[in-house]
Structure 1
């Protein structure tokens, strides 16, 4: 959509007013008039596009820009993850694993154990894919322990998000590091430390407290606790752990090789070589999940004496309940995409860059405001990195100071997820929250992650200045 020509120029101030007005209209439609989130997002996207001056003959292209890309990414992951989760849930595997985990850590520490497991899983796997794979275990632990569902679920989501935002081999920090010339290995070490600290402060301490403020029932997307399907087989704990670990190992092949390639003098030659290319394909998240689903069909289905017709019924039953999740998430991407094609992110980032703020503050604020304006954390991070690269190149920063700047941009890119972020709607639907509840929990948690991340970046930058 780079060649899109708007019918009129609203300027930075006009674009900011338009973005704020669009968000307000969306909130009113959903909260006051109770319009379904998918319809409200689509109505607001159309209105925002036309108000921004997108020509009518390019309106559908502007809507498709965010919707198609988000839906394409989310649909495969959610569908395959739901099939895997449905088989694990209905076989009894989720309950068995939840019972074993609670027996090890105790009911009072079940949320902590689940969150720690999510943190470890979050190292190689993307936020949305990891959350989908983990959902049957989260549901099972919540049923077993009782009490507040969100107090159990939110810490796990924070763990996945912390790893995704701050630690390579995830795409955001890798892209930012590549743009500004930061040492990938150093970014990974610092990113992992930041992710663990942020998880401990926000996920372990704050998330359960926020979760207990809302009474949300355990969702039934993957089936209810008492439902009998004929697929029950009571698999061993080791079998379920192996099935959950399989996509992690495969995905780590891809992300690990991509990170290794970025450190090579000729990355394309390394990544396109025969065996590396093959392993990267196997480790692409949709392919890794597809392989895991097929293996699960053999292990939990045919291997447990289940008929093919029952296996087909179980996997098919996983798709209907997640249709709303996928469509609303795609519509959230549509709204964010419309805001991106208006140029609001670039306009705001350019204005902030001209103010002359200290580099660390500017890096954080550019990423944060672009994130608030258009929703995508990856776009916010790469936009900030592209603007900061000239400042960094012209300055005499140490390698550790450059890493601190990357961490500040990462912190800004995660902050205050709201209605123009597809991830906001993914969490909302999977956790059974309405928009007000999601704003009161997930948005605040993401904001807290941003603030803690910036403070850590500031401390690291100061430390790097002292030690040279």
Structure 2
């Protein structure tokens, strides 16, 4: 769609839309789902989208987000419910704490999430980790954020800057940076940025924001079976299974893309299929169901257990979808395109320009992926003219990813996912998750600047 207004008008509409949304939810206490749908429709109309097209565009954006989130969340919470009620999550929590010590429990969760986050996407990893986070939090008490934020921040760091995640891969490809070098440097940067921008910030500040521990999204109030818990290796195997399947998918897809293996092959096709995230989670759910739940409960009780697990997440899924609707409307209205045109020639140093453009696009339309890909395309001509070194190209990828990470807010579906999973209202999510994403992104950018200087 050709934007109906200039960049200034569109930016004003976007800012007013966010302000109205916050007013409805925080001041007037309107339900977040209703408020998001209402503001999405109003924003589309105000931005000049033809009235006849508004419903279809809004529903398409809503459905696109649900297609990415609903399957993962639904399958993930089923796995989480089984691990929680059979005592498996407690076994994992006890083992982690015994290895790291009580005072390092947040560190243990974060390190584990960094390892799991290499091949698995942010939302899928967070869902699978929920039972462990809640088990550790219940054991030691205090605010759930002390344990939730290190893990969530670790998944966010890996997802933002480490291949094979799609954002950094797309950005690296767009500006001809080496995927392999981006992976090697990205892992180091992700760990350092997580320590500074997530772990330190959480333990010193954000983890002290009081958010009560409420794991009813997993348990439905049902007590865990602690009399005969499963073995640690059994539980760890269930959690590692989707990670290994997804890793195999990534490896063989990459090998097939670069021509290292043949385009056809039944075995490779099967591995790529089973490594699709929803399929991998479904396989893990079946393993958990028939090796943990059915051995303890009747088939009818197991069915009831899994059915119960879906009830508490309906609101989470709908609100997340509505958040995607809001972001989709903002993108369709031309706000991202208008910003791209106005920011392309701002005259800053290349790496600073990459960060500023990505940040502005991220704040305006919510999607980190759109911010990454759009920014990489915008600066690609400047990159070719500047002829940076291989290491400096990686630094540019990191700077773009840093800008696409900061300032997660109400037009980002991930903002709603994190806030609702851990029982936070909008104000608290802005005070904690938005701040954490910003300190993480700024830490990544500072490291990128250092790499650019020595590259």
TM-score normalised to structure 2 length: 0.96
1:420 maps onto 2:414 in alignment:
no
- The correspondence of residues 141-180 of structure 1 with structure 2, limited to 5 A, is 141-180=136-175
Residue 253 (structure 1) shift: 1.1
1:285 maps onto 2:277 in alignment:
yes
Contact 2:220 2:308 in 1 (8 A): no
Query: Structure 1 residues 426 and 272, CA, compared in 2 at 3 Å: closer, same or farther?
Result: farther
Contact 1:251 1:284 in 2 (8 A): yes
Aligned to 2:357: 366
Q: Secondary structure at the match of 1:163?
A: helix
Aligned to 1:57: 52
Distance 1:407 1:323 in 2: 35
Query: Structure 1 residues 126 and 257, CA, compared in 2 at 3 Å: closer, same or farther?
Result: same
Distance 1:83 1:45 in 2: 31
Distance 1:232 1:159 in 2: 33
Query: Structure 1 residues 232 and 127, CA, compared in 2 at 3 Å: closer, same or farther?
Result: farther
1:357 maps onto 2:348 in alignment:
yes
Aligned length: 454
Aligned to 1:93: 88
Residue 251 (structure 1) shift: 0.8
Aligned partner of 2:366 among 348, 358, 375? 375
- The correspondence of residues 325-336 of structure 1 with structure 2, limited to 5 A, is 325-336=316-327
Aligned partner of 1:295 among 284, 287, 290? 287
Greater displacement, 34-43 / 386-395: 386-395
Distance 2:226 2:199 in 1: 35
Greater displacement, 195-204 / 20-29: 195-204
1:25 maps onto 2:26 in alignment:
no
Greater displacement, 194-203 / 71-80: 194-203
1:339 maps onto 2:330 in alignment:
yes
Contact 1:375 1:417 in 2 (8 A): yes
- The correspondence of residues 445-456 of structure 1 with structure 2, limited to 5 A, is 445-456=436-447
Q: Secondary structure at the match of 1:83?
A: helix
Residue 356 (structure 1) shift: 2.4
Distance 1:47 1:164 in 2: 32
Residue 144 (structure 1) shift: 0.6
Aligned to 2:128: 133
Contact 1:371 1:412 in 2 (8 A): yes
TM-score normalised to structure 1 length: 0.94
Distance 2:167 2:49 in 1: 29
Contact 2:84 2:218 in 1 (8 A): yes
Give the CA RMSD over aligned residues. Answer: 1.7
Unpaired stretches in structure 2, ≥5 consecutive residues: none
Unpaired stretches in structure 1, ≥5 consecutive residues: none
Residue 380 (structure 1) shift: 0.3
Q: Secondary structure at the match of 2:196?
A: helix
Contact 1:80 1:293 in 2 (8 A): yes
Aligned to 1:440: 431
Aligned partner of 2:301 among 303, 307, 310? 310
Measured against aligned partners, the alpha-carbon deviations of 1:148-181 in whole angstroms (never above 9, x if no partner) come to 2111111111000000001001010011111111
Contact 1:91 1:235 in 2 (8 A): yes
Aligned to 1:221: 217
Distance 2:226 2:80 in 1: 13
Residue 53 (structure 1) shift: 0.6
Measured against aligned partners, the alpha-carbon deviations of 1:104-161 in whole angstroms (never above 9, x if no partner) come to 2221111111111011111110000000000001000000111221111111110000
Measured against aligned partners, the alpha-carbon deviations of 1:194-253 in whole angstroms (never above 9, x if no partner) come to 10011111221002333344221112211167x348897411111111101111000111
Aligned to 1:120: 115
Q: Secondary structure at the match of 1:351?
A: helix
1:399 maps onto 2:390 in alignment:
yes
Residue 293 (structure 1) shift: 0.3
